[in-house]
Structure 1
Amino acid sequence: MPALDRPLDDAALDQLFRSARTFNHYRDEPVPEETLRAIWDLMKMAPTSANQLPARLVWCVSDEAKARLAAACSATNKDKVLAAPVSVVIGMDTDFHEHLPTLFPHVDAKSWFDGNRELREASAFRNSSLQGAYLILAARALGLGVGPMSGFDAGAVDKAFFADTPNVRTNFIATLGYGDTATLHERLPRPAFETFNRIA
């Protein structure tokens, strides 16, 4: 087993965090399906509470799928979705607990959520948001740029992509591709540790 207690080198940290950027524009270069599968194979390994894995992803690759998603987006996001090689809907399954006997088999975790929709919805939102962040890091690790966004009608996205699974609702959406660095603006400021942190 590889050592898990060694810091990543600066090049890896730059690619994931320090030099990585949020992209609104991408090179005219398709993203192979095997790369999308590789993103999932990385992000699924990252932690969620009790291995819940509530995220349900729709990878919009076809023009038809991107058009359906764009129709539910704000004016500023519509063109981004249509132009990106891939747009992805990060949904959340509020019935994720049905899979816990397989995903978390050593205790009866399903019973924690049976009959408690409020708890399931809170857990699905929290953990699918985590998985969306893991998606961003996995994509960056594989050399892609990502543009996560709000600015859409969640009900319309649900109707377009999750009509046959009413237990799944949209969390957020993102564009994906090989980032066009020529279109980047100056990086926005980031605060010092002391601004928003305290050690108790």
Structure 2
Amino acid sequence: MTLALDDAAQDLLFRAARTANSFTDEPVDDEQIRAVYDLVKYAPTAFNQQPLRVVLVRSAEARERLVRHMSEGNQAKTAAAPLVAVLAADHEFTTELPTQFPAFPQAKDVFFAERAVRERSAAFNATLQVGYFILGVRAAGLAAGPMTGFDADGVAKEFFADGDHSVLAVVNIGKPGPDAFRPRGPRLAYDEVVTTV
């Protein structure tokens, strides 16, 4: 094949990976999540911006606060998952832009001067980072259960009280439990997606 990853890595990250809907009670520790982050922090973003912010929901009190904002079908699995991550875009990401390159101060002061531009850029680039985060969870041998079925404004108010963040996804993380995976849905074929001009 023409891919650099061997078949086992391709399966782990892509072909055999599924969204998990149940998990064992085996804990996910901070060291595992730190290793995931240290891998996925290299996601490609515009101006090397890094707007993704992650809140790890571990305590029973915080879990209860989160679960009440989840859609009914996502509440039980979010309550039971070993670890839940709330992934958000920081609209004030420009305070963290690197300064070692001449274009970045200009980008901060000119291109990102308008809040609406910052919000759109933060949402797009943090979404790229979310995709990498899910791949990183898989690379750690864990299963991810990413969800968008929740009250985003409610979750943002619970975990980002400053009003400068938009919540993009909630991800349950752990070892897959019994009947964790639904059958894989169909995917479009190459010729249905790719056009050469």
- Scaled to the shorter chain, the TM-score interval is over 0.9
Aligned to 2:49: 52
* 8 Å Cα contact 1:51-1:104 kept in structure 2: no
Aligned to 1:145: 143
Q: CA deviation at 1:169?
A: 2.0
Aligned to 1:11: 8
* Residues 129-178 of structure 1: CA deviation (Å, up to 9, x unaligned): 01110000001001010011111111110111001x22122112111111
Q: 1:79 aligns with which of 76, 79, 85?
A: 76
SS in 2 for 1:176: strand
Aligned to 1:106: 101
Q: 1:118 aligns with which of 95, 99, 116?
A: 116
Structure 1 stretch displaced more, 131-140 or 171-180:
171-180
Aligned to 1:157: 155
User: Among the aligned pairs, what percent are the same residue?
Assistant: 42
Query: Structure 2 CA distance, aligned partners of 1:114 and 1:190?
Result: 37
Instruction: Provide runs of 4+ in structure 1 moved above 4 Å.
Output: none
Is residue 2:172 matched to residue 1:175? yes
Query: Structure 2 CA distance, aligned partners of 1:199 and 1:67?
Result: 50
Alpha-carbon spacing, 1:63–1:191, altered in 2? closer, same or farther (3 Å)? same
Structure 1 stretch displaced more, 38-47 or 81-90:
38-47
Q: CA deviation at 1:64?
A: 1.6
Alpha-carbon spacing, 1:19–1:113, altered in 2? closer, same or farther (3 Å)? same
Runs (5+) with no aligned partner, structure 2? none
Query: Structure 2 CA distance, aligned partners of 1:69 and 1:113?
Result: 35
TM-score between the two structures when normalised by the length of structure 1: 0.91
Aligned to 2:127: 129
Query: Structure 2 CA distance, aligned partners of 1:8 and 1:181?
Result: 29
Runs (5+) with no aligned partner, structure 1? none
Alignment coverage as a number of residue pairs: 193
* 8 Å Cα contact 1:146-1:177 kept in structure 2: yes
Is residue 2:85 matched to residue 1:88? yes
Superposition RMSD in Å: 1.6
| Aligned residue type for 2:116 | E
* Residues 4-35 of structure 1: CA deviation (Å, up to 9, x unaligned): x9701111011000111110101111001111
Q: CA deviation at 1:182?
A: 3.7
Higher relative contact order (CA 8 A, sep 6+): 2
SS in 2 for 1:183: coil
